Structures are given as C-alpha cells and as structure tokens.
Amino acid sequence: MIFIKGTLTSISLVIAAVTAVVAYPAHQNLKKRQEDDDGEVSNGLTDVVSWDTYTLKVNGERLFLFSGEFHYYRLPSPGLWLDVLEKFKALGYNGVSFYFNWGYHSPKKGVYNFDGVRDVQRAFDAAEKTNLHVISRAGPYINAENDCGGFPSWLMNMQSPARKSNPENNANCEEWLTEIDKFLVPNQITNGGKIILNQLDNEYSANTDPAYLEMIKAKFIADGMIVPDIYNDANMLQNFPDGPADIYGWDNYPAGFDCSNPDAWPNNRSTEYMSYHASTNLNQPAVLWEFQGGAFDPWGGPGYEACYQMVNEKYAKVYYKNNYAQGITIQNLYMTYGGTSWGGLSKPTVYTSYDYGPFLTTEHFVPEVDKSDIILVDGRAATDASAKFYIAQHWLTSSKDLDEFHIIIDTTDGTFTIPRSSKLILNGRDAKLLVTDYDFNSQHLVYSTSEIFTHQDAGSHDVIIVYAYEKEEGEFAIKVKDDTKVKVETNNDSVKSETNDGILQLTYTHPNGTSPIYISGGAEKDLLVLVAGYQSALRWWAPYLNEKEGKRALINGPYLVRSATVSKDDKSTVAFTGDIDETTDIQVVLPDGIKAITWNGEKVHLKKEDKHDIYTGILEFKKPDIKYTDLTEVTWKYKAADRLSTASITPHDTWPILYADDYGYHTGSIWFRGTFNGSSEITGFNLTCHSGLASAWVVYLNSHYLGGFDVGNQAFTNLNGTLIDPEGENVISVLLWTTGHEEDGVSDDNYKQARGFTKAQLLGVSNQTIWSIDWKIQGNLGGEDLADPVRGPYNEGGLYGERNGWHLPGFPDNEWEDITIPENKNRTGVSWYRTTFDVIIPDGYEVPMSLRYVDDTKTRYRSLLFLNGWQLGRYANDLGPQTQFYLPKGILNTAGKNTLAIAVVAIDEAAQLGQVILEPYKTLQSAIPPVDLVASPGYDARQQ
C-alpha cells in the first residue's frame, strides 16, 4: 500500500508566488532590478553576479553556494587564516562569509587600525589562495555575540539612536564604511577579487527604519561596491523582501542555544522554507544566509562538548539535507570556525557532498513512499535533465527509530519500487539523499540506495564513491549496453550482481572500511564503485587537481588533505599535502598517467590493488621532538596590586554618574574610589551594581575587605563604631570586573547599558544628598587613546598591573617574589603571576597548544591570561565552563621563549590560583602553511 503525504506541489508554489506579488505591492518601487527574458536578474550595476529563482550565477554559471562563517578577529594570528580556509576547502565548502567588526578596528571616533592582526587584506588573500567565494558582512552592526554587537564602544556616548537614520548616526556609520570599503571595493570579483555578495547591516528585523538600510546601501554604492547586496532577516519574518537589498534571505537556528540537554532535539525541522520562499521572493534563489552550524555557550553553561553533541553530525545530516529538500541553494553555516572564544573546527562530514552541480535547478515533487506516515520523502526533479533526488527523513525530527521503507521511482528506464531486492533503512536522526536517473561521467545511474559522496572521470575509467552506515544494505543500479558483456569483480563477499533488461544491479552490505567493485563492459568506460562505510567515508578526501576542469584526486585515510597538484616537471606524480595524526593506511584513486604520489614532499611507496585501479600505501607518522615547559615546575614572579587605589585619574563634573563608559573606559576591570567625610550619623552605605552576566565586584572600606558580589544591590550596614571614622575622611574602593557590553540585536540601543553603579548612597544620614560621596574612576591606561594600539581596544582593562604593563614581555619583574603555584597561601585583592616558558615544535608538525586551569570552586576568583601581552582568556573558576584556552601559533612563539602573565582578582577573601598547565590539543605531522610571528611589543615600547 502506498500512502501519499505532503500537500505542496510545484503548481501550488506558482500560485503562491502570484499571490505574493499582490500582497506586497508597496515595496515594488524600491526595486532597482533589471530582468531579462529568461528570468535572470542583476542589480543594474554589474551582471558578473546575477540570479534567478534557482541559484546565483557567477559569470553566467550557476553556483550552489555552500559557505562557512569565519571571523578573522577571533583568531589574532593572520598566519593561521590560510590554515583555516584550507580546511574549509578540504571540507567541501566553496565559500566563506566574513564579518568585519567595526569596534575591533576603531578605539576612538576617527581612529582606525588595519595593521598587524587587523590586516583584513590577508583574509581576502587567504580566500584567493584557496579559491573560495566571499560574502562580506561589514555591518555597521554585526551582532555576533560581540561587545556592543560589533559597534565601537565610543558609539555608546552618541546621543542619537543607533541603527536608525539620523544625521549623527549616519555620519558615524559612513565614517566606518569609508574605511572598510577601501578593502571591500578592490576585493570584489568585478575587480579581480573574491567578494561576490555584500551584506547591508545584520538581521535588521525589529524596530526597523528603511531609510537606515537605504543610507548604508547608498554609501556602499557611492564608494564603489557593485556586487549584489544582501539582506538577512532574523527568521522568516517578511522584513524587506523587496529591497532595498538586492537579494533577500533569512537565518535559522533550529536547535537553539541551550546545550544543557543536547540529546533532546526539538521537532522543528522546517518544511515551510519552500512555501515561504514562493510567497516572499520567488524571483530570487532560496537562501539561508545563516544556518545553525553550532551553538554558543554562556558563563556557567554546560560547555562546548555538550554543544557539539547537540549540533553533531546527525544534526548536520538531518537539518542540512532538509534544507536541500526545501530547495535552498545558498547555505552559509554559522559558525564553521568559531575562534578562540568559542567553538572549534567542525569535523569532516560526509553530508558535505562535493558535487552540487546536479542540484542547481530543481523543482519539488511528492514521490510515492510506503511508511509515509512516519517517513517524509521530498522529491526534487532537475529541470534540465532526467535526474531526480529523494530526501528521506523522519517526520518526527527527534525520532530514534530505525525504519525500513520503499520509494516508487519513475525513471527514463522504467518505474521501480526501490530497493528491489535488499533493505533500505532510515536510522533515527539520519536523513538520506538518494539519486536516480542521473548521468555521471560516461555512466548512467538508474538509482542508488547508497548516498553518493563524489564521482570522477579517471581517464580510462570512471569512479564513484557511495556510502551508508556500516552493515546497512545498499543497492546500486546502472544502465549497461549489453547484458551479456558485463563483468563484475570484487573481493567483497557480500556483493551480488544481476543484469536484466540493460540494467546492472548490485546489492551489498556497507563494510567497515571501503571496498572496491570493478565493473567492465557496461558502458563506454569501466566503472570503479567504491562502497564505503560511514566511518571510512569520513576520511575520503577529494582535493582538486584542476578546479576549472573539476578534476579531483581521491584519497582515503589522512586526518586532513589540503591540496593535490600534478608536478610541473614530472607529470606522472601527484603531490599531496595534508596532516596525519598517526601512521595511516591510505587508498588512492588517480587519473590515468599518474604512477606515483608524494605526501608533504616525500615519496610514498604505492601498491596497486589487483586490477581495480586503486592504490594502497602507508603514511608513516614520525613522533616529533616537541619541547615545552612544565608550568607546574616553573618559578613565578608574584606581586600584589596594593598601590592600586593611589593611581587614579580625576573625573569630570557630572558626578555622581558612575558609568565607566562615560569616562572612556570600555573594557575589563574598572576601579571606583569614593570618599566621604565621616559623621556620627553615618552607619554605612548602599551600592547597586549594573553590569553584564558573570561580572563581579569587590568592595573595600578604608582598605578593609567587605566582600565580593554578583551584579545587583548590596547594603553595607552597622559600620559605625568599627570601620567608619566619624571624624575624618573615609575611602570606599570598588573593583568591578566587567564582561563586555550588550548587543543591539533588536535596534533598541540596548548596547548602551551601563557598566557601573546606579546607586551609591550613605546610610543613616537624615539630610540625604546625592553628592554625599565623591568618586574617582579608572579604567585602561589612556581610555580611548590606547596605550597599546597594536593589541587594540579589547586587550587591557583598568587593573593596576594592566595599566603598568605587568602583562607585557620584558616587564622587569626581577624584584618580585619567587614562588611556585599552587601556593599554600591565601591571596586577597588582585594578584599577578609572571613567568616565561619555552615551546619548540619542529617544522612539519602542527601542535595546537592550550593553557588549562586546574582548580576547584571553593573560593571564587576571576582571572585574565596574557600570552606575550595578548589577553587570550577570561576565566571564572566558580562559573566555568571553559577551563582550557587556545594559544594560537603566531601569538605563541613555537620556536622559543614566551611570556605568560596571569592576573587573579579574588572575589572571595581567600581565593587563590590553582594549577595552570601547558598542553597540546593534538599532534599532527602537517603541511600547515608557514605562520608568521605576530608583532608583540614589549614593556620598553610602552614606555616611549
């Protein structure tokens, strides 16, 4: 029995589209589009990038854009940007999306820095080298879980609302766009660069002002940005579908951001993208400008392991394939490389098919399926070929059931119910993308119940790699010219073959590994079918030999394959570069004429497997001689920050406003120093702290510790008779440890929330005045006039040690006390620890290093970690969850000496630093491109 579920057909899509035009007539006049006869649209400024209802087109060629998000500013080592983008390329991405962070480049109005770690041209150069298309997203607003959502902190003192069109805000935005456009304009594809799309602001979906978007668009165009501009709605919210941006799309985060129960998936996979697209912007491709590729985790959260479990490879299979089922042809995964403050590089994932070609122009249809009450199968039919695609998933996204099912396929070779003689299984939390009636190389596939990883013309024969979970059955059928001439050879006993009516059908069980099946006599060329189990498929790589011609080498085994090139001198050798983490067995499939390979420059001995045109070899892992200091044994230099309250600046007249940003202090710790004349009346004082999540503050009265607190109100009572001097001057000292500013996600100026105190009042005073306490305030040295422009506006705060360069290389700490940690001593206040350590990693190896705090949570403290002067970690021992901090090569000198400084702010009186450990994440024998050492100015430079 066949039940049909699902109501949408391509006919209903067309009807919905017609209604859409009627529903949104008001915006039509905003359009500035030129549409030619076959539905192709361009923005009137260039037709190098154009589009129609199906896809983007670049130089007239259709593009299925699969890009990943990368934030250069979260990896302050430009030498590593190429490494990251090589990994994007290896994973099958053909694009990268860059956010540009205004605040990262501008510490003060009118001041911009694009040098050193801020040299964005190097990000473009890395995209050029790896041949990845670029989506530029330069704001002005980016959100991105950044301080002020990427606004510079100085914007907090702007009187006018941000993200609205008004003279003051327009002038500020235009100031930024002028600076960043100097980099964007020459890097457009129309000027020989990689940018194909450019975003206007980000998720501008609440409290909107169309004139604001118009202002940004006009500025980009005035500066010379001519590639299509894009708009990302925060979800399917119908904001600005008809401009001013050229291409509308939306963002979606179906798994949400609470990683605390990673296994409990919501049943919210969208089946509405298709109808929404049809009714909203059918003359443009269906786009997900941001689709969830991970989750961020707050202070005290469950940690990134849990987030990885939630947004794991099963999530990827189910949700990404669903997007394809819905006709999405531009998908940007957010995040793909999260950087030092969160996330990590995703694992190689087989859902990343290397062949988007056939998916370019398809229409949805509803295939006939048994079990259609529990299994949803979407069909997509190519408009320009016979190929059809079937995306099968459980109706209930969270289902963990394993179900067998059949599909009726209608092909040019006949109608079949597949599988015909094996089992087709849909695992819980899996989705399958099956292909039928599909021409590839010189073959014609009738159908396959295994998924296709990639296929290649290898010269004398063709190759296709198919996969499914180990032990699942598979069925693979191709057309053959003559039933009697077909020969099938394999060592895999599970393979059965049968030829009838011009169709060769193979059935097999997916092995733990990859097994070759060789078919001769079927088509013009022989066909090598490589049947892979899932784990083995994860380690198949398809690096380009020639990207223009779509020629790839196929190699299985290594941890990472970065590139494959045919040597200019010796055309019979392919040089592979990549990384291995252990001695690795490899299988290689090479085009005709290639007889040998090298791996990272060294010859690999290859053995030919029977007549299967597949070679095997071994990549030997040689253990490197890595040296790094055991930090538990080093001597630290220790200093207490007891002179802190004397080194303050004089505030201006608007007392008693106690908001740090009003005084130009925007980052990290802030000291507040209040003085009042004693009297017999005064019994204490009352403070209310306003700051972000995980902030903390510590209070002293006349140098006596009164406690450490979370944000909120705290009254200090009954201090008369003990701490308050009724006759003389009394001093309240407050250290506030801030954790950054809020964002402006819904355009309501939320980013201007104060960091400081909303109330500071004496208690017991009958004639209360609001000026009863005089205050001084102190943040980072120089405020917006940075003492350290190289490391920039987010590197240092107002701790005495920070202001005095105690975190910098070369600070003379010889007078400091020698200690080892952990100490059996209670340290209150702010403590500083300094040491130097060595790391030696030989060439040809990649050993990403980290610093890990090992501690308990008995007494609360906050800590800053500085490597060679760069603040690479904010640690809260009581909150976590992060205890391990990445020390990126480039900042980390891997050929010698490094300086480590750790500041500890005791929140509870007797807090002390536990152990800190230097430790590698992984040891790879690697072809990582050379990473230059980032300039790390020392203490001497600061003195000038």
Ligand X SMILES: *[C@@H]1O[C@H](CO)[C@@H](O)[C@H](O)[C@H]1NC(C)=O
Min. distance of Cβ 87 from ligand X in angstroms?
A: 25
Binding flags for ligand X, 817-836, as an x/- string (CB under 6 A): -------xxx----------
Binding flags for ligand X, 125-154, as an x/- string (CB under 6 A): ------------------------------
Min. distance of Cβ 183 from ligand X in angstroms?
A: 47
Residues 394, 371: Cα–Cα separation, whole Å: 10
Alpha helix locations (H) across 724-795? Answer: none
Residue with the two structure tokens 């640690």: 875
Of 126-134, 247-255, 715-723, 786-794: span binding ligand X (CB under 6 A): 715-723
Q: Which is nearer to ligand X, 46 or 535 (CB)?
A: 535
Residues 838, 851: Cα–Cα separation, whole Å: 13
Q: Tokens standing for 331?
A: 């998908």
Strand segments (E) across 118-162: 133-137
Of 268-276, 337-345, 443-451, 681-689: span binding ligand X (CB under 6 A): 681-689
Residues 217, 269: Cα–Cα separation, whole Å: 33
Residues 183, 181: Cα–Cα separation, whole Å: 5
Q: Which is nearer to ligand X, 512 or 632 (CB)?
A: 512
Residues 730, 685: Cα–Cα separation, whole Å: 11
767 binds ligand X (CB under 6 A): yes
Of 64-72, 83-91, 694-702, 713-721: span binding ligand X (CB under 6 A): 713-721
Strand segments (E) across 312-398: 328-337, 362-365, 368-369, 375-382, 388-394
Q: Tokens standing for 727?
A: 């006759």
Q: Which is nearer to ligand X, 209 or 470 (CB)?
A: 470
Residues facing residue 851 across a β-bridge: 885, 918
Min. distance of Cβ 156 from ligand X in angstroms?
A: 24
Residues 313, 328: Cα–Cα separation, whole Å: 19
Length of the chain: 944
CA 707 to chain CA mean position, Å? 39
Binding flags for ligand X, 623-662, as an x/- string (CB under 6 A): ----------------------------------------
One of 721, 728, 818, 944 touching ligand X (CB under 6 A): 721
**Residues 69, 145, 174, 203: which is the catalytic one?**
203
Stretch (H or E) spanning 341: none
Q: Which is nearer to ligand X, 261 or 679 (CB)?
A: 679
Min. distance of Cβ 5 from ligand X in angstroms?
A: 33
Residue count, binding to ligand X (CB under 6 A): 20
List phi, psi (to 5°) of 18.
-65, -40
Give the footprint of ligand X on residues 20-49 (CB under 6 A).
none
One of 4, 693, 715, 854 touching ligand X (CB under 6 A): 715
Asked if residues 334 and 288 have their Cβ atoms less than 8 Å apart, the reply is no
771 binds ligand X (CB under 6 A): no
Q: Which is nearer to ligand X, 46 or 492 (CB)?
A: 492
Residue with the two structure tokens 């995040």: 335
**Residue 214 is among the residues annotated as catalytic for this protein:** no
Any idea what DSSP says for residue 289? Answer: E
Q: Which is nearer to ligand X, 895 or 910 (CB)?
A: 910
CB neighbourhood size of 323 (10 A): 20
CB neighbourhood size of 680 (10 A): 11
Residue 33's Cβ-count burial label (10 Å; 0-12, 13-18, 19+) is: middle
Of 68-76, 353-361, 648-656, 711-719: span binding ligand X (CB under 6 A): 711-719
The set of residues, in sequence order, having a beta carbon less than 8 Å from that of 233 and lying 6+ positions away, is: 203, 205, 239, 240, 241, 248, 249, 250, 251
**Residue 203 is among the residues annotated as catalytic for this protein:** yes
Binding flags for ligand X, 461-500, as an x/- string (CB under 6 A): ---------x------------------------------
Give the footprint of ligand X on residues 273-292 (CB under 6 A).
none
Q: Which is nearer to ligand X, 423 or 759 (CB)?
A: 759
Min. distance of Cβ 679 from ligand X in angstroms?
A: 10
Asked if residues 925 and 579 have their Cβ atoms less than 8 Å apart, the reply is yes
Q: Which is nearer to ligand X, 825 or 922 (CB)?
A: 825
Q: Which is nearer to ligand X, 632 or 717 (CB)?
A: 717
Binding flags for ligand X, 726-765, as an x/- string (CB under 6 A): ---------------------------------x---xx-
Dihedral sign (CA 256, 258, 262, 268): negative
Residues 738, 224: Cα–Cα separation, whole Å: 40
Q: Which is nearer to ligand X, 417 or 915 (CB)?
A: 915
Residue 102's Cβ-count burial label (10 Å; 0-12, 13-18, 19+) is: buried
Contacts 24+ apart (CB under 8 A), 305-308: 306/259, 306/260, 306/262, 307/259, 307/262, 307/343, 308/344
One of 686, 750, 772, 884 touching ligand X (CB under 6 A): 686
One of 713, 820, 857, 915 touching ligand X (CB under 6 A): 713
Q: Which is nearer to ligand X, 550 or 726 (CB)?
A: 726
Residues 871, 880: Cα–Cα separation, whole Å: 17
Q: Tokens standing for 848?
A: 């990403």
One of 2, 18, 854, 910 touching ligand X (CB under 6 A): 910
Min. distance of Cβ 683 from ligand X in angstroms?
A: 5
Please list the helix, strand and coil fractions of the chain in percent, rounded to the nearest 5, in that order: 15, 35, 45
One of 492, 565, 573, 688 touching ligand X (CB under 6 A): 688
677 binds ligand X (CB under 6 A): no
Min. distance of Cβ 917 from ligand X in angstroms?
A: 22
Closest residue by Cα to residue 741 from 72, 99, 154, 70: 154
One of 436, 720, 780, 936 touching ligand X (CB under 6 A): 720
Alpha carbon of 108 to those of 102, 669, 754, 907: distances in Å? Answer: 11, 19, 18, 31
Residues 375, 393: Cα–Cα separation, whole Å: 6
Q: Tokens standing for 782?
A: 């120089």
535 binds ligand X (CB under 6 A): yes
Min. distance of Cβ 539 from ligand X in angstroms?
A: 12
Residue type for position 852 = R
Q: Which is nearer to ligand X, 48 or 538 (CB)?
A: 538
Asked if residues 781 and 800 have their Cβ atoms less than 8 Å apart, the reply is no
**Residues 69, 145, 174, 290: which is the catalytic one?**
290
Min. distance of Cβ 688 from ligand X in angstroms?
A: 6
Min. distance of Cβ 715 from ligand X in angstroms?
A: 4
Min. distance of Cβ 4 from ligand X in angstroms?
A: 35
Of 476-484, 626-634, 646-654, 712-720: span binding ligand X (CB under 6 A): 712-720
Residues facing residue 465 across a β-bridge: 454, 530
Min. distance of Cβ 468 from ligand X in angstroms?
A: 12
Min. distance of Cβ 512 from ligand X in angstroms?
A: 4
Which residue's Cβ has the minimum distance to ligand X? 721
Q: Which is nearer to ligand X, 398 or 688 (CB)?
A: 688
314 binds ligand X (CB under 6 A): no
One of 131, 178, 421, 512 touching ligand X (CB under 6 A): 512
Considering all CA atoms of the chain, what is the largest pairwise distance in Å, rounded to the nearest integer? 112
Alpha carbon of 586 to those of 456, 556, 606: distances in Å? Answer: 18, 5, 9
Catalytic residues: 203, 290
Residues at the contact surface with ligand X, assessed by CB under 6 A:
470, 512, 535, 683, 686, 688, 713, 715, 717, 720-721, 759, 763-764, 767, 769, 824-826, 910
